[in-house]
Amino acid sequence: MSERYSRQELFTPIGSSGQALLAEKHVFIVGAGALGSSNAEMLTRAGVGKITIIDRDYIDWSNLTRQQLYTEEDARQYIPKAKAAENRLRTINSEIEVNGIADEFSAETAGELLQNVDIVIDGTDNFETRFIMNDITAKHNVPWIYGGCVKSHGISLPILPGETPCLQCLIDQIPQEGMTCDTVGIISPVVQMTAAYQTTECLKFLTDHPMSTEMVYFDIWERQHSSINVKKLLNPTCSSCSSHATYPYLTKEKGIRTAVLCGRDTVQVRPSATIKLTLEDLSIRLKPISQKLHQNRELLVFTVEEFRLVVFKDGRTLVHGTSDVSEAKKLYQQYIGA
């Protein structure tokens, strides 16, 4: 028994054999925000052999109340969440492999990203990405664990393709009140509770124990808890997981693609093809017209008029200060021109 994992190995359902299994596994986490960072830290400490975490955003001061891997200095320097997570997780456990990807989990990239992955954990904050995750995991027969939280409410559900209903099967059963952390807030304890359910089911699967078929929903502030066994809700004609699945959310878009970030007055703009920007050259070009400009190895932040633009080195850009897609595209083409 290794001293590092000794207390975990004393837990009979895991034991030394389960610990050995964990060391061989690869967990992919979509989103490095509150849920993603919490799951990532627990799995890193548990000794999972490889963890990959992807996120399209950078660290903001408003993240620090609940996104436990990050520091004030990360926020000052606009560090991409995935890269800050990678750096922090490597200091927690140098025995495992950690890879942070500062990019979007999209229909174009999902298939390649999930090669040789054992299980996927949902750390996102939007259903658009979740449905892509749902389709790609069904297509490649990879289990994933849905999780969501806002205010003091949390929800978690393991999804095992071919055995349990997928997200598309259950969409009418999952509470969707149109609320986000950016519009109604959130408290940190509900993040930890939701992540605890997700990580526990992940550890079960990785150590060859059956995952639950129940969806749990709780309000930690009001001390309310409920669960429902969803196994019988598997839809035999589901467009995402049945034998006749068409995987509707994996359709690839053409041209400049945009996404409005819910509740944040922000539009993401992505060029039609991946490009490699020289941030140094862009910085020189923008310096005479920008009110504020900050650059690090992964991104460039600048302000023009009332808008703040965050440009990643592959050309993907977050336009803060508008939810108008046309306006965001215009600003992108005017200042980035990619």
Tokens 């990580």 correspond to 199
Contact 130, 159 (CB under 8 A): no
Q: Which residues pair with 98 in a beta bridge?
A: 51
State how far the Cα of 138 lies from the Cα of 119, in Å rounded to an integer.
Answer: 12
pLDDT tier at 274 (50, 70, 90 boundaries)? low
pLDDT digits (tens, 9 = 90+) for 209-236: 999 999 999 999 999 999 999 989 999 9
Q: Which residues pair with 310 in a beta bridge?
A: 301, 318
Instruction: Identify the CA nearest to 206 among candidates 71, 335, 17, 6.
Output: 17
Options 3.40.50.720, 3.90.1150.10, 3.30.1490.20, 3.30.465.10; CATH of 6-249: 3.40.50.720
CA distances from 97 to 31, 51, 109, 317 (A): 18, 6, 21, 29
Cα-Cα-Cα-Cα dihedral sign, residues 204, 205, 211, 215: positive
Q: Do domains 6-249 and 257-335 have the same CATH topology?
A: no
Say whether pLDDT at 182 is over 80: no
HSE-CB at 26 with a 13 A cutoff on CA atoms is: 10
> What is the value of pTM for the model shown?
0.86
pLDDT digits (tens, 9 = 90+) for 128-163: 889 999 999 999 999 999 999 989 999 999 999 989
The burial class, CB within 10 Å (0-12 / 13-18 / 19+), for 167 is buried
Q: What is the pLDDT of residue 92?
A: 97
Say whether pLDDT at 200 is over 70: yes
Q: Where do the domains of the chain lie?
A: 6-249, 257-335
Pairing of strands 292-295, 299-304: antiparallel
Options 1.10.10.10, 2.30.110.10, 3.30.310.10, 3.90.1150.10; CATH of 257-335: 3.30.310.10
Say whether pLDDT at 53 is over 90: yes
Rg over CA atoms, the chain: 20
pLDDT digits (tens, 9 = 90+) for 281-318: 888 888 888 868 888 888 999 998 889 999 988 888 89
